[in-house]
Amino acid sequence: MSFGAPEKKLGIRGSPTREVYFDSVRIPASRRIGPEGTGFTTALHTLDHTRTTIAAQAVGIAQGALDYALGYMQERRQFGQPIADFQGLQFMVADMGMRVEAARQLTYAAAGRSERNDRDLAFFGAAAKCFASDVAMQVTTDAVQLLGGYGYTRDYPVERMMRDAKITQIYEGTNQIQRIVVARQLLDGVQSQL
């Protein structure tokens, strides 16, 4: 077993990523997960569970960006007052807060279903991952906007949060794939039996 060169990534730079190469590696049958020939099905079922963890990651990133933006708005002054007093910015943070909380609640619903291995886990896991990661991308982008020029610099953490949020829309299946999973679950009637 050997490893490729480290990837130079846009975000989540604290998590090293490399290719893993297997050359003439043998795995004993006692280490196999599930019956022979069921690997693809097992992998897909595993994704139903792990998508919830990506949703949780996305909620955490979004909450961090919201928290930072709120603190910044209360400290930053323009025209003799904190920018938190400006109604237009209040509307932005209100939308950010509502989205983060909606994503959190959907993620909690998916986590409960994952723990119980409920029949509707595929719907909730995909929905939570898709919704929460879209929220993370939107909220972090809004946080950058709220900080103005400072938000675009590495001196403030929201630019990193925005870069980190992007991967949550991609791994464990892109959000386009999540929408296919959700639609198929709805068409199969899984959601109507909740």
Active site residues: 172
- Residue 191: pLDDT band (50, 70, 90) is low
- Residue 189: pLDDT band (50, 70, 90) is confident
pLDDT for 193: 57
Which pTM was predicted? 0.91
* Percent of the chain residues past pLDDT 90, beyond the cut: 91
Give start and end residues of each alpha helix (H) in the chain.
Answer: 39-75, 87-116, 121-146, 158-168, 175-187
C-alpha–C-alpha distance, residues 170 and 95, integer Å: 24
pLDDT for 123: 96
- Residue 192: pLDDT band (50, 70, 90) is low
- Over residues 73-93, the mean pLDDT reads 97
The DSSP result for 118-156, as a single string, is -TTHHHHHHHHHHHHHHHHHHHHHHHHHHTGGGGGSTTS
C-alpha–C-alpha distance, residues 122 and 133, integer Å: 16
Average pLDDT, the chain: 95
Query: Does residue 190 carry a pLDDT above 80?
Result: no
Q: Residues 133-178: pLDDT tens digits?
A: 999 999 999 999 999 999 999 999 999 999 999 999 999 999 999 9
